[in-house]
Amino acid sequence: MCLIELRDRVLMLPSLEKRMTFLQKEIKEAKSEVSNLLRQYEREKRDVEQMKNGSLSAFMFKLIGKYEDKLEKEQQEELNAKLAYDRASVHLESLISEREELHSRIDALKAEEKQYRAELDDRRREISGKLSELNGVRYAELENERNAIVSQITEIEEALKIVVRAKGTAYKIEESLDSAEGWATWDMFTRGGIITHIAKYSHIDEAEENFDILSHELRELKAELVGIEGLRIEGFTEISSGQRAVDFWLDNIFTSWAVRDKIQDNAQKISELIKDIERVETALKSKLSDKEREFVKNKKAEEELLLSV
């Protein structure tokens, strides 16, 4: 590897170290979330066990003929808590895996940086006195320009990786909301009962859990964005547990209609968010192309200068 190529690789270090700092913070938050979701899952699991083992509340629900519905509701809450815990665990594992891969890249670059510094010292001693004062100033200008270009290219590439992940998560949310809307419509006009209710909220929960992941990814993206303005991020309209209880126990067409309206509102917002993400992706790709052209131009100017020595 020539000295110039070695230097170009070493210039990625600051951006990767910045990414590592942010990633460490994300992992800490993800670990806390996994712990909280595990406790929630364990609570829901105990509630189901108590219902099955004949608790006082189970006895009361049997008296009023609501035991099976209540048990099924508790089991669904346990399942939702387990799914939320599993998804958060997978997200944490992906962050840890990314950190390990990034750590390896940084270690390798630090070794190359040490090699580069040694070779650079040898080169400076070799060409000392051969560059005129004017050429020496120009060489320093090109080097500073190149350092800035490579740093920006690295940051843009890291941002694009996050964009790809965020867009994939957003599409999953859109798919879940589309399914939830279908079940909500079916529930409204057929009075489908507990099965359609569970199916509807299963997809809503899935969308909400993926939105938590998307929120992490968008925070990462905002931290990585360089010179990109106009990113607009809309939050979801929440579907509260109280509204779910009304929809479940009363099974009223008006409450079902309100829930479907909220699903449609969320679907519209995620559609707008996907457009925002794609707009940022297009802007980043354009910026990357510009910087790559600047890099090539700088490299040619530097080669011409070195050849003139």
Token digits for 193? 């009962």
pLDDT value at residue 106: 93
Q: What is the pLDDT of residues 175-220, one digit of tens each?
A: 887 776 665 655 555 555 555 556 666 777 777 777 878 888 888 8
Compute the C-alpha angle 150/214/292, nearest 5°.
15
Spatial separation of the C-alpha atoms in residues 267 and 262, rounded to whole Å: 8
Task: Name the residue type at position 110.
Answer: K
Q: What is the pLDDT of residues 273-309, one digit of tens each?
A: 888 888 888 888 888 898 899 988 988 887 677 656 5
Among all chains, which residue has been given the structure tokens 């790809």?
164
Provide the pLDDT confidence category of residue 131 given band limits of 50, 70 and 90: low
Contact 82, 47 (CB under 8 A): no
Please state, in angstroms and as integers, the Cα–Cα distance from residue 126 to each residue in 29, 121, 122, 306, following that order. Answer: 51, 9, 6, 13
pTM over 0.85: no
Contact 256, 187 (CB under 8 A): yes
Judged by phi (left if over 0) then psi (alpha if -120 to 50, else beta), residue 227 lies in: left
Spatial separation of the C-alpha atoms in residues 228 and 233, rounded to whole Å: 14
Provide the pLDDT confidence category of residue 252 given band limits of 50, 70 and 90: very low
- Backbone phi, psi, residue 240, to 5°: -75, 160
Token digits for 300? 């040619």
Output the CA torsion sign for 132, 137, 140, 142: negative
- The mean pLDDT value of the chain amounts to 75
Provide the pLDDT confidence category of residue 8 given band limits of 50, 70 and 90: confident
Q: What is the pLDDT of residues 89-124, one digit of tens each?
A: 988 998 999 899 999 999 999 998 888 888 766 765
Contact 166, 140 (CB under 8 A): no
Check whether 221 has a pLDDT greater than 60: yes
